[in-house]
Structure 1
Amino acid sequence: MTSGLFARDRHGDADAEPGLIDFAVNVRGGPPAFLRDALTARIGDLAGYPSAADERRAIEAIAAAHGRRPDEVLLLSGAAEGFEMLPKLAPRHAALIQPSFTEPEMALAAAGVPITDVVLPEPWALTSGAVPDDADLVVLGNPTNPTSVLHPISAIEALRRPGRIVVVDEAFADITLDPVNGRHEPCSVASPAAPDVIVIRSVTKTFGLAGLRAGYLLADPDVVARLTHGRRPWPLGTLALTALAECVGAAGQNHARAQGRAIAADRAVMFDMLGAAGIKVCVPPQASFVLVTLPRALEIKQQLRERGFAVRSAANFVGLDDDHVRLAVRDRATTAALIEAITAIRKEIGV
């Protein structure tokens, strides 16, 4: 799987060293106050095992949030666990829509599943015709990491075929907004239910909980049963169960919508500032990160680190190269400081 910056298992946290201004990781700040309070209230319960009541509460809250039945919900120790489970479906041929998050490839390849990388050309519009007809498992991100492309529901629906399961990674869907009418999660396929569609979601990005590991999966009950066969007992801890219930509840949904609006505003400013500085934004971004191209990007990345900034090279994503860099959306002042540093470095190295 290559090594260093090109290794498939490298993520942005490897760049976000303490003391650096973090543009490498797409997690928002710390947990909001209501969530901190809920988690703090459960510290005294940690001597006991996670309870069936807490698990049931989380499942019922997620089911209600998406208009699903409880038996269509599978709680995950982080969304990445959902990808680790996919080999239990015994796919004969998996198609991965690329470029995209690398964990599905890691999990499927480790299980010996034959994989076809369906590499979309820039601007990475999803077309069903590019997927091999015999692929019985198709995996894509929406919005896609790292391109920040948001695919329309119609394009995802076009991937469906008899005998095929479509897996949609919606880790960042909860902060997406329709740019025209502001509707929340305009391209999510989390509801209504479809028997051949699996949706994998995370709460750790929007709620500042990357260290807790909490997510969930939505699928047909038969698929959920196949994925959970042989699973260890107590797969999620008490705090993760508490976080899931809170994040999909009313307060959590309000927070996600507010974060979506704040990200959209900061992203628009960031887009304009990058363009004004002569930094190419690959496509109009729709998530909490922006993909740019910079000649000699790896050299610029290293020099940015020396000046106190962490950025994420996209060199290890299928279909991208070492001139691609992913930048997390930050506020105007922080973005201005980064762009000033990039501009100075480019002038020094002559690009």
Structure 2
Amino acid sequence: MKSRTTRSTTAEDTTTRSAPSESTTAEGASAGFDLRHHGDAEVRGADAALTDLAVNVRAGTPPDWLKARIAASLDGLAAYPDGRAARDAVAVRHGLPADRVLLTAGAAEAFVLLARAIPARRPVVVHPQFTEPEAALRDAGHTVERVVLDERNGFRLTPDAVPDGADLVVIGNPTNPTSVLHPADALAGLARPGRTLVVDEAFMDAVPGEHESLADRTDVPGLVVLRSLTKTWGLAGLRIGYVLAEPDTITALERVQPLWPVSSPALAAAEACCAPSALAEAARAAERTTADRAYLADRLAELAEVRVCGPAAGPFLLIRLPGAAAVRTRLRELGFAVRRGDTFPGLGPDWLRLAVRDRATTDRFVVALAKAIAEAAA
């Protein structure tokens, strides 16, 4: 399977297309990018305890009240999961009818379902972004075309970036790993007759007010919004997310989904996380994350070698610095795990992604980073 790279440029440049990439391997690597490498690989099997800045799950989660709700659900494990209450809770949370909601085993499962259920002839994935959508499409036999946003434009979407002939478009908002928040109107403007527009909003609940979300929109044809509950609530091990889309799309996805795909504990968590009190807690967490991200950016600005990609809106920052691979290795020796950037199409070996943590952790990390940079330069 071949892919073609499109790089959107600044106003001074014209759009160019590169030569087709090499086909994907069984491991999910394509054109030199390991599409199946994710942040957890940076900390899995570590010989020593590492301060984790590689995984974008909020620290100190899940909260005790959520643990209690999940634990209480264990008494019902003898029964098959019944997702109706959780589905209704998600629908109410977004002001939508329940037939526009599909619960999934994490947002990642939704990409697999979309790849299997949507008969796309020209799927396009906008990069840099979470690589699992492209990997799932390739595994399902699709030829994937890439639109690669330009660093010189802050990795921001330009109106003509996506080819008119694309009938499936996938984009993140805010985007992992760039932390760019695209305007909702710009994304809605990508909708076309006969096109499925997939917007991955896995990190949208970390944006105060969720002001660029399309989750509650029913006026955008072909819109599919993906949400995750694993990031803000610390439920990556439980696997819970959901899809918001037109009823016909939900039905098509449900047909290719295994029976009882979401466990009873995950359903209990979904219902609990949609309660008004939980939404208020998530909103407070988003405000704290915003402040902590600004603090991290300010501290990084003290290091002349580091350039921060911004403005940022997610619970992570993308940075560029020379010799990032060597710096990342030295940071591990100093007790910090960070996410390599060279597995994301559109980035390269000089990029790292940093999860936002509390200010004390940031202070310790910046000291270690300065040390690692100095030693790598020497």
String of CA shifts for 1:42-100, please: whole Å, max 9, x gaps. Answer: 1222232213xxx1111111111111110000000000011001121111111111100
Corresponding position of 2:52: 22
Superposition deviation, residue 201 in structure 1: 0.3
String of CA shifts for 1:267-323, please: whole Å, max 9, x gaps. Answer: 111110000122210222111000001111011111111111100001010100011
Corresponding position of 2:97: 69
Structure 2 SS opposite 1:291: strand
Counterpart pick for 2:293 among 267, 280, 288: 267
Structure 2 SS opposite 1:131: coil
Structure 1 SS opposite 2:58: coil
**1:288-307 maps to which residues of 2 (within 5 A)?**
288-307=315-334
Aligned length: 341
CA distance in 2: counterparts of 1:313 and 1:82, whole angstroms: 25
1:102 aligns with 2:131: yes
Q: Which runs of 5+ in 1 are unaligned?
A: 178-183
Corresponding position of 1:200: 226
CA distance in 2: counterparts of 1:170 and 1:340, whole angstroms: 33
1:191 aligns with 2:234: no
Counterpart pick for 2:202 among 171, 175, 186: 171
Superposition deviation, residue 27 in structure 1: 0.1
1:332 aligns with 2:359: yes
Identity of aligned pairs, percent? 46
Structure 2 SS opposite 1:205: helix
Q: TM-score, normalised by structure 2?
A: 0.88
Counterpart pick for 1:161 among 161, 175, 192: 192
Counterpart pick for 2:122 among 93, 102, 126: 93
Corresponding position of 1:229: 255
Structure 2 SS opposite 1:41: helix
Corresponding position of 1:117: 146
CA distance in 2: counterparts of 1:172 and 1:243, whole angstroms: 17
Superposition deviation, residue 2 in structure 1: 4.0
CA distance in 2: counterparts of 1:115 and 1:231, whole angstroms: 22
CA distance in 1: counterparts of 2:145 and 2:138, whole angstroms: 11
Structure 2 SS opposite 1:217: strand
CA distance in 2: counterparts of 1:31 and 1:282, whole angstroms: 29
8 Å CA contact retained: 2:123, 2:145: yes
One-letter amino acid matched to 2:106: G
Corresponding position of 1:141: 172
Corresponding position of 2:22: none
8 Å CA contact retained: 1:13, 1:25: yes
> More deviation in 17-26 or 161-170?
17-26
8 Å CA contact retained: 1:57, 1:245: yes
CA RMSD across the alignment: 1.4
CA distance in 2: counterparts of 1:2 and 1:199, whole angstroms: 26
1:218 aligns with 2:244: yes
CA distance in 1: counterparts of 2:246 and 2:189, whole angstroms: 19
Q: TM-score, normalised by structure 1?
A: 0.94
Superposition deviation, residue 37 in structure 1: 1.4
8 Å CA contact retained: 1:124, 1:149: yes
CA distance in 2: counterparts of 1:195 and 1:235, whole angstroms: 27
Counterpart pick for 1:57 among 54, 73, 85: 85
Corresponding position of 2:272: 246
Superposition deviation, residue 130 in structure 1: 1.4
8 Å CA contact retained: 1:67, 1:192: no
Q: Which runs of 5+ in 2 are unaligned?
A: 1-27
8 Å CA contact retained: 2:113, 2:257: no
